[in-house]
Amino acid sequence: MFPPGFVWGAATASYQIEGATRADGRSPSIWDTFSHTPGRTHNGDNGDVACDHYRRLDEDLDLLAALGVGSYRFSVAWPRVQPDGKGPANPAGLDFYRRLVGGLRDRGIAPTATLYHWDLPQALEDAGGWVARDTAERFAEYAAVVGEALGDGVERWITVNEPWCSSFHGYGNGLHAPGRTDTGAAVAAVHHLLLGHGQALAALRAGGARSVGITLNLVPVRPASGHEADAAAARRMDGYANRMFLDPLLRGRYPSDMAAAFSSARPGLGVVQPGDLEVIGQPLDFLGVNYYSPAIVADPSRLDEARRAGLVPSERQAERVAAELGVARVVRAGSDRTAMDWEIEPSGLTDLLVGLARDYPVPPVYVTENGAAFCDYVDPDGRVQDPARVEYLDGHLRAVAQAIGEGVEVRGYFCWSLLDNFEWAYGFAKRFGLVWVDYATGARIPKSSFSWYRDVIAANGLA
Ligand code: GBH
């Protein structure tokens, strides 16, 4: 059902699984600061211990081997490698990733390394974070350091994971570290994350890296009705969630409607300098796409009409940048949702991939994350059963197969996530893993989805 050579993978991120936040010279990241600030995360949860992956590396590598993945997507913690965010590498921090990459290769698993999955060294945030242009330069230096240390061992590099989350959730919506609510700062952060991506890509290539891309969280957007006001709201949401990143990366410019919508947000795109868009628009070897759920949007003045059509306001109304842009999120009353309350819609993934290939000159695509949190349960024999996750993954893999059938060059799929882990502001309450983690003991229990996915991988397709 999938093409020969299709890459099957599983994904994680450093702060969500590693723990050992003070080991071997690691410095605090913005997520240590944020999660230790009262009121920022569910239950005050933090990544101090998380899955204790830093100390259970071999056990987790063995789980990956048992799953049979062709590739493992992990991220490198910048504050382990450069505790001050600049300067010489910390050898003990790099050593962990050398052991990780070596351990994968020993097991025949190709490493896919993400350089930035949100754990910015706090020292750099103190100097302005992603609102400061200097952070992009520092990121390129860090990329060169990691590229040189891990070198040939890494099959493919992802510079930045989901710059939308880092910029808008981090600096605009206040939902992620560093927790700021300043739209102008968020838009400047967009630019510096993309600039950092471009500079890091060049640095990695100069060091001999074969395959370099970026991962975006993209959202298929649907208008709540055929009314022009809802269609216009959907265009604004598409600009905010998708085009603000796709256009500079793949077309060499920011979308003019978004530049106008953010024109009063300072510094915003005022930070763009001559030549930056050439750096950002350098050809990618691949585009990573993370997909979880679609978005249905209405014009805020039309929520009553939406309600009459069975569409109810979603909790995401709380997102302040969307509200500023005049975008109201709605969901179908009674629709299937995950434990995150995200609507389940596999066809959204087909639409997204097909639309991307239709609208942009896209390089080959990897689905670098897809998965779901559910209320998994332990059966009388002590097995963790997660039939809802199997159904979610099955549906979304069929959606990928359909996009491939329609001509989109999708080269691989990484399930989020290998392990239950620290789900950012939701703490440990939401479990996305193929493997259950007992946080009290650190014990790992593969769920029923683990053996299901193992069989899919072995068959290169669905039954
Ligand atoms: C990813 O974030 C992360 O890369 C990963 O670390 C995380 O654990 C995983 O997914 C699960 O959350 O409908 O307006 O909220 C994804 C976070 C989820 C944020 C979907 C954007 C869509 C826009 N994204 N959400 S909205």
Mean pLDDT of 76-104: 98
Residue 200 scores a pLDDT above 90: yes
Report the Cα 406 to chain-centroid distance in Å. 25
**Cβ contacts of 414 within 8 Å, gap of 6 or more:** 9, 10, 11, 71, 73, 112, 366, 367, 368, 369, 370
* 370 CA to centre of ligand 1 in angstroms: 10
Say what percent of the chain tops pLDDT 70: 100
Model pLDDT, residue 147: 98
Mean pLDDT of 167-183: 98
**406 catalytic per annotation:** no
Residue 297 scores a pLDDT above 80: yes
Q: How does strand 221-223 pair with strand 295-298?
A: parallel
Which of 160, 321, 416 is the best mutation target for the ligand 1 pocket, counting ligand atoms within 8 Å of the beta carbon and taking the most?
416
Separation of alpha carbons 83 and 184, rounded Å: 28
Residues in the chain: 463
Mean pLDDT of 198-212: 98
Global pTM? 0.98
SS3 458: helix
Residue among 343, 369, 406, 409 flagged as catalytic: 369
Residue with the larger pLDDT of the pair 377 and 439:
439
Q: What is the pLDDT of residues 379-433, one digit of tens each?
A: 889 899 999 999 999 999 999 999 999 999 999 999 999 999 999 999 999 999 9
Place of tokens 């930056």: 276
Residue 95 scores a pLDDT above 90: yes
Which of 161, 215, 217 is the best mutation target for the ligand 1 pocket, counting ligand atoms within 8 Å of the beta carbon and taking the most?
217
Residue 60 scores a pLDDT above 80: yes
* 292 CA to centre of ligand 1 in angstroms: 7
Q: Name the nearest CA neighbour of 142 among 163, 166, 123, 162.
A: 123
Residue 443 scores a pLDDT above 70: yes
Q: Name the nearest CA neighbour of 209 among 146, 137, 163.
A: 146
Residue 44 scores a pLDDT above 90: yes
Distances (CA, A) of 431 to 163, 318, 416, 443: 23, 23, 10, 15
Residue 84 scores a pLDDT above 70: yes
Residue 318 scores a pLDDT above 80: no
Model pLDDT, residue 317: 64
Model pLDDT, residue 255: 98
Which residues does ligand 1 sit against, CB inside 6 Å?
Answer: 13, 16, 161-162, 165, 217, 219, 290, 292-293, 295, 316, 369, 416, 423, 432
**Which domains are assigned to the chain?**
7-297+338-459 (3.20.20.80)
Per-residue burial over 356-395, b if 16 or more Cβ lie within 10 Å, else e, is: bbeebebbebbbbbbbbbbebeeeeeeebebebbbbbbbe
Hey, what are 128's tokens?
A: 């302005």
ipTM: 0.92
Alpha helices in 174-241 (DSSP H): 183-206, 228-238
